């Protein structure tokens, strides 16, 4: 079982979001918000390539969503494993 990154006072430790920081420094982007029909999602991409697309879970804080996104980016960047919960959510709604 993987451990969650360290948190202090309910906020993510800046070092725990290292993959998001690396992506942004390399010209990538992270988008948070509504992705129809998903009410809240976090998407990380570089150019036209989506590296991770996560759906916010019931009761999940935005900080926890960002921590999950950072973990998904780690898998995308080091294992070439793309996480796409948004497509999975769309298939469930059909």
Domain chopping of the chain, boundaries:
17-93
Return the structure tokens found at 90: 């769309």
Collapse the DSSP code of 86 into the 3-class scheme (helix H, G, I; strand E, B; otherwise coil) and give the result.
Answer: helix
Predicted confidence (pLDDT) at residue 91 exceeds the cutoff of 60: yes
Tens-digit pLDDT profile for residues 9-26 = 555 555 689 999 999 999
Cα separation, 94 vs 3, whole angstroms = 34
Tens-digit pLDDT profile for residues 63-75 = 999 999 999 999 9
How many CB atoms are closer than 10 A to CB 15? 9
Cα separation, 68 vs 47, whole angstroms = 21
Cα separation, 49 vs 91, whole angstroms = 20
Cα separation, 41 vs 56, whole angstroms = 6
């Amino acid at each position: 079982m993987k451990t969650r990154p360290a948190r202090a006072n309910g906020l993510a430790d800046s070092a725990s979001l290292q993959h998001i920081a690396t992506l942004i420094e390399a010209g990538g982007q992270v988008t948070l918000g509504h992705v129809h029909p998903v009410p809240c999602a976090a998407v990380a991409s570089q150019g036209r390539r989506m590296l991770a697309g996560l759906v916010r879970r019931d009761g999940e804080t935005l900080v926890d969503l960002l921590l999950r996104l950072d973990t998904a980016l780690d898998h995308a960047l080091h294992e070439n494993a793309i996480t796409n919960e948004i497509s999975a959510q769309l298939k469930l709604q059909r």
